[in-house]
Amino acid sequence: MKTSALTIGIILLARLVKVDGRRGTTEISETLELYKTDAKYTALLKEINSTYHGRPHNTANNLEFEKYFQTVLSGLNLTVYDIADKIDIYTDFTVYNQIRLELEREISKTIQVAKNLLSLKNLLPHCRTFFMDQQVQMAASISQSNLMKMEILNNPSPECENVELNQITFLETTTTTTTPKPINYDSIFRDILQKYSKRPWGNLKYLEFDEQIWQVFMALNTDDKIYKKETLIGFMGYDKDREKLDKALAVRIGKFKKIIANETDSNCKGNLLYLNKRLSLAMFETLEKKRKILVITNYIHSCVKHEEHLKIVDKINKT
Ligand SMILES: *[C@@H]1O[C@H](CO)[C@@H](O)[C@H](O)[C@H]1NC(C)=O
Ligand SMILES: *[C@@H]1O[C@H](CO)[C@@H](O)[C@H](O)[C@H]1NC(C)=O
Ligand SMILES: *[C@@H]1O[C@H](CO)[C@@H](O)[C@H](O)[C@H]1NC(C)=O
């Protein structure tokens, strides 16, 4: 286009020069023609100036745009004899600006697509990263040269762009299960207190368990979330162990009752009864004592060596 504009200019100038030699009517009409052309391009350049004077539509801070705009201003300073340059300036600016506008339309389309895809909860993580980076790059490229814009637009991700949606997302069901509900500690604490409000062991003292229940009660009356969480974890761990040991104690007591029922030796029966009483009392003792009595009574199936076991049991109970 530069060449064609230049050619027009040269032809016009050539005619002017030729006309200079032999003055006549053609000279006047061609000179008029020149002035008309100049007026037309001056008007076009002025229009560009008034449209972009305030740097609207993404044209601010664009060095390349600035360069072309300044040539438009300098074009407005040219005389009628520089009509060829004027046409060049107009053509260059218009071509540059049309390409710029086209690229910017393409950029804003790409940004919109990325925005829509980023709103999907189940977008694959590496595609999420790609589209987030792309948005930033696209937004920054607005003030860059047309060449840079083209380069950024032609930097696709074969994995994340121009592929079916199901190739860049994972199944929705997996996302719904990954969002855990916040734990309502107070409601759990109230359930625990409710569950143990009527102690199955009546009037018997159960110091270690009472201590644990007291911790729960205290945690219910605090605002400290971390303290609530730690107390809950502590209590759940303790109560799980306690339940297991109490179950084992109950099973052991049942076994002993059967042995006792079959025992004919009264002395031996007395010892077995004593051990069984120990097992029952262990229900309200510490986890440590529950474990010890279970270990000691593990191998007792008859009266053999009961005396020795009784000594050990007593020793444990005294510590
Ligand atoms: C360019 O446009 C502005 C705003 O319309 C105007 O003030 C200024 O005089 C114009 N410049 C030229 C060289 O026409
Ligand atoms: C236009 O000409 C005037 C006076 O000659 C000058 O001051 C001004 O800088 C010129 N503008 C451009 C854009 O060349
Ligand atoms: C109790 O004695 C009966 C008969 O003597 C026997 O069949 C049963 O196995 C014994 N039970 C235990 C728990 O030792």
Could you tell me how far CA 249 lies from the centroid of its own chain?
Answer: 50
- pLDDT score for 8: 54
DSSP code at position 166: G
Mutate to test the pocket of ligand 1, among 49, 74, 90 (most ligand atoms within 8 A of CB): 49
- The residue contributing the CA closest to ligand 3 atom 6 is 262
Residue with tokens 């007291």: 214
* Relative orientation angle of helices 146-153 and 83-118, to the nearest 10 degrees: 30
- Closest ligand, as measured to the CA of 49: 1
* Contact indicator for 90, 45 with CB cutoff of 8 Å: yes
Counting ligands in written order, which one lies closest to the CA of residue 48? 1
Q: What's the CA gap between 181 and 172, in Å, rounded?
A: 17
If you measure from the C-alpha of residue 260 to the centroid of ligand 3, how many angstroms do you get, rounded to a whole number? 10
Q: Which residue has the tokens 């201590």?
A: 211
Average pLDDT of adjacent 10-residue blocks, the chain of 319 residues:
50 49 64 88 94 88 94 93 91 90 91 88 86 90 89 83 75 54 86 80 78 91 90 92 91 87 82 87 91 81 60 62
| Residue pair 296/311 in contact by the 8 Å Cβ criterion | no
**Residue 19: predicted pLDDT:** 46
Which residue puts its alpha carbon closest to atom 2 of ligand 1?
A: 50
Q: Whose CA is nearest to atom 3 of ligand 3?
A: 262
Question: How much is the pLDDT for 104?
Answer: 92
Q: Whose CA is nearest to atom 3 of ligand 2?
A: 77
